[in-house]
Structure 1
Amino acid sequence: MSKREASKYKIDRRMGENIWGRPKSPVNRRQYGPGQHGQRRKGKMSDFGTQLRAKQKLKGYYGDLSEKQFRKIYEEAARRRGDTSENLIGLLESRLDAIVYRAKFVPTIFAARQFVNHGHVTVNGVRTNIGSYRCKQGDVIEVRQKSKQLTVLIEATQLAERDVPDYLEVDHSKMVATLQRVPGLHDVPYPVIMEPNLVVEFYSR
Structure 2
Amino acid sequence: MTKRTSAKHKIDRRMGENIWGRPKSPVNKREYGPGQHGQRRKNKLSDFGTQLRAKQKLKGYYGDLTEKQFRKIYGEAERVKGDTGEMLVGMLERRLDAVVYRAKFVPTIFAARQFVNHGHVMVNGKRVNIASYRVKEGDVIEVRQKSKQMGLVLEAVALTERDVPDYIEVDHSKMVAKFIRTPGLGDVPYPVQMEPNLVVEYYAKN
Rounded Cα–Cα distance in structure 2 between residues aligned with 1:99 and 1:109: 9
Rounded Cα–Cα distance in structure 2 between residues aligned with 1:111 and 1:204: 32
Q: Count how many residue pairs are aligned between Structure 1 and Structure 2.
A: 204
Rounded Cα–Cα distance in structure 2 between residues aligned with 1:41 and 1:66: 29
Rounded Cα–Cα distance in structure 2 between residues aligned with 1:75 and 1:198: 15
Rounded Cα–Cα distance in structure 1 between residues aligned with 2:67 and 2:178: 29
Change (3 A) 1:197 1:3: farther
Q: Deviations over 1:128-148 (max 9, x none)?
A: 000000000000000011111
* Contact 1:137/1:182, CA 8 A, preserved across alignment: yes
**Which position in structure 1 is the counterpart of 2:31?**
31
**Which position in structure 1 is the counterpart of 2:155?**
155
1:113 and 2:120 matched:
no
Aligned alpha-carbon RMSD (Å): 1.2
Change (3 A) 1:160 1:95: same
> Any idea what SS the aligned residue of 1:122 has?
strand
Q: CA deviation at 1:44?
A: 1.1
**Which position in structure 2 is the counterpart of 1:42?**
42
Rounded Cα–Cα distance in structure 2 between residues aligned with 1:16 and 1:6: 18
Q: Give the partner amino acid of 2:161.
A: E
Q: Deviations over 1:92-121 (max 9, x none)?
A: 000000000000000000000000000000
Q: Normalized against structure 1, the TM-score is what?
A: 0.98
Q: Deviations over 1:31-68 (max 9, x none)?
A: 00000110111111100000000000000000000000
State the percentage of identical aligned residues: 78
**Which position in structure 1 is the counterpart of 2:79?**
79
Q: Which runs of 5+ in 2 are unaligned?
A: none
* Contact 1:107/1:156, CA 8 A, preserved across alignment: yes
**Which structure 2 residues correspond to residues 6-155 of structure 1 after superposition, within 5 A?**
7-155=7-155
Large movers: runs of 4+ above 6 Å: none
> Any idea what SS the aligned residue of 1:110 has?
helix
> Any idea what SS the aligned residue of 2:4 has?
coil
